[in-house]
């Protein structure tokens, strides 16, 4: 049986019970930016909120990390040394469609925003990043992800119940 606590405003932890195992699972966030000081700043903002943070300085490094680790959310810089952030967005969406992807840019333009959103970015934040805006956006997107997961679980349970009744 699977149990879940709804996230409240003060907690970024997801409670799950599967096959008798009970534990707390922290939400995992990947931050991708070639600016080391920004990586440190974003980590300092997010880590105290209970998130597990991982960082990458290139698109290639981000792709490699995503092959070995699942992330709930990624913050992606638009300008990376080895590829455009929108190219990384497309690659990550193809391999991890359920991961929330937020584009972060120091070069805001309507064209960038529209392109990122058309490529299925879940949100768009401009630099300099305001801590309150970042936290609200991350929390909102993770809540949307949890709600989508819950709907999926409910649909599967209902489908199983319907199939069992037909047998």
* pLDDT at site 164: 80
Domain that holds residue 49: 28-166
CATH number at residue 130: 3.40.50.2300
The count of structural domains within the chain is 1
Residue 25 CA neighbour count, 13 Å, CB half: 18
| Residue 30 · residue 74 · CB < 8 Å | yes
- Whether 6 is in a domain gets the answer no
89 part of a folded domain: yes
50 domain residue, yes or no: yes
55 vs 30: CA distance, rounded Å: 5
Query: Is residue 20 in a domain?
Result: no
Per residue in 52-94, pLDDT (tens digit) is 999 999 999 999 999 999 999 999 999 999 999 999 999 999 8
Which pLDDT does position 152 carry in this prediction? Answer: 73
Residue 2 is assigned to a structural domain of this protein: no
């Amino acid at each position: 049986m699977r149990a879940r606590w709804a996230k409240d405003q003060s907690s970024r932890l997801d409670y799950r019970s599967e096959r008798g195992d009970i534990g707390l699972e922290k939400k995992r966030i990947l931050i991708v930016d070639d600016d080391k000081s920004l990586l440190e700043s974003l980590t300092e903002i997010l880590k105290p909120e209970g998130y597990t943070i991982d960082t990458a300085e290139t698109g290639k490094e981000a792709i490699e990390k995503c092959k070995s680790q699942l992330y709930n959310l990624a913050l992606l810089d638009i300008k990376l040394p080895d590829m455009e952030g929108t190219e990384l967005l497309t690659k990550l969406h193809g391999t991890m469609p359920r991961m929330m992807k937020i584009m972060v840019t120091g070069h805001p333009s309507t064209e960038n925003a529209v392109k990122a959103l058309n490529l299925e970015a879940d949100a768009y934040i401009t630099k300099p990043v305001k801590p309150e805006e970042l936290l609200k956006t991350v929390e909102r997107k993770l809540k949307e992800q949890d709600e989508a997961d819950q709907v999926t679980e409910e649909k599967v349970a209902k489908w199983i119940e319907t199939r069992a009744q037909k047998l």
